[in-house]
Structure 1
Amino acid sequence: MKDRHGGETRGAAGWIARLHVPATVNDLSPIAQRFIFRLRVVAVYRKAGRDPLAELTSRVGSITVAVKSLQLFESMAHVWPEPVHVQRCCCQILSHDELTIARALEAIAENNVDGFDAQLADLMPSDTRKTIANAAGELIVAEFG
């Protein structure tokens, strides 16, 4: 069958093929990598019925960063449309939820509110996104401040 659309069809095929290549932790900025690792640690501790604060504090070396991380996790967990899917701590491949969260955090770190909104617009209302953005901003200030 003849390809009537030429380059458009090939371009779409390339785009679809890239969707099948999973994103990895190494594709993220350092701040997003650290956040995703903390998210995974929190998930392990919550599943075990334990408080993750002491472990996070030990790993990041700052009670403030650990608390701000937990506050951001809790803010997101309350408004996320379904349970947040996280991979195991040793896994380099990101879940779709982890990738969305990481990209939103990267946008806040770059002071890109539009990019942040683009990541989360289909998942939550505007006022909720503002709350999440504020919590993410506080975490970034705690990490670098």
Structure 2
Amino acid sequence: MRHAKPVNAVSWVEKLKEQVRVDDLNALALRFVYSLRLIAIHRRARRDPVPELAAKLGNVTAAIAALDLTETIAAIWPEPVRVGRACCRCLTFDEVTLARALEAVVARDRPAFNHQLEGLLKPGRIDLVWEQAMTLVAAELNAS
């Protein structure tokens, strides 16, 4: 398991000041952040997000996998997942964490994935998110 280097409070605060933007993500992580935001908009409006999500992603299977992963994350995340506005190029801390975790799934790097979620989720729940994220990545890659 990968362990983070010890950091002092000053370097931790500096790390938090770094603003991650959508341009810093790989394509699948970017599509997932977009899906998170679109699902949040639809949930607030009490509408089904799948039709628009499928149209935007170009794949019903990927849309359903993104929705399943998002709903699981929403159910097990320690607090409400914070998502940015659809037009915002900057990411929230939750979006960064989830995007980096998804990038690790794309790279098939389980230790990096675990590292992103350690301390936030129980190990069994991390396994569940890994499995659902793998399903999403497979659906996205099969659509390409």
What is the TM-score when the length of structure 1 is the normalising length? 0.88
Following superposition, the deviation at residue 61 of structure 1 comes to 1.2
SS in 1 for 2:91: coil
Larger radius of gyration: 1
AA partner of residue 66 (structure 2): S
Structure 1: give runs of 5+ residues left out of the alignment: 1-10
Partner of 1:70: 67
- Aligned residue pairs, count: 135
Deviant stretches of 4+, over 2 Å = 11-19
Aligned-residue identity in percent: 39
Q: Take 1:120 and 1:17, find their aligned partners in 2: how far apart are those partners? A: 21
How well do the aligned residues superpose, as a CA RMSD in angstroms?
1.5
Change (3 A) 1:54 1:123: same
Partner of 1:89: 86
What is the TM-score when the length of structure 2 is the normalising length? 0.88
Q: Deviations over 1:19-72 (max 9, x none)?
A: 312111111111100110011000000001111011101111111010011011
Q: Does 1:137 align with 2:134?
A: yes
Following superposition, the deviation at residue 127 of structure 1 comes to 0.7
Report which structure shows greater RCO (CA 8 Å, sep ≥6).
2
Q: Take 1:122 and 1:17, find their aligned partners in 2: how far apart are those partners? A: 20
Partner of 2:29: 32
